[in-house]
Amino acid sequence: MTKTTETKHAFHAKVKKIDIQDGESLIAVLNEHDAWELGINKFDKIEIKHNGEHIVADADLSHHLVERGEIGLFEEVTKRFNVNE
């Protein structure tokens, strides 16, 4: 995953499916500590790559929903990537 600005940082994470639908937006949840280390803020656009495909999603942050080293993906994102866990 990389933040889509001039500065790109690679971050490999374990996927955690989140049983939430936003309706239209593609949302990924990062642990706040990981986001801070990468310079990612809430609502930043991040690029997510999985099995050769990529999307741009809105970043959301959490202390407890995802652990460090995980990325939580809302249903719209898991459907796009066909993530079955």
Question: According to the model, what pLDDT value does residue 4 have?
Answer: 45
Question: According to the model, what pLDDT value does residue 5 have?
Answer: 45
Residue-wise pLDDT tens for the chain (85 aa)? 444 445 567 888 999 999 999 888 899 999 999 999 999 999 999 999 988 889 999 999 999 999 999 999 999 999 888 887 5
**Among candidate residues 22, 1, 26, 23, the one with its CA nearest the CA of residue 11:** 1
Task: List CB contacts of 81: < 8 A, sequence separation 6 or more.
Answer: 48, 50, 51, 53, 55, 73
Q: For the chain, which residues make up each domain, given as ranges?
A: 2-81
The CATH class that applies to domain 2-81 reads mainly beta
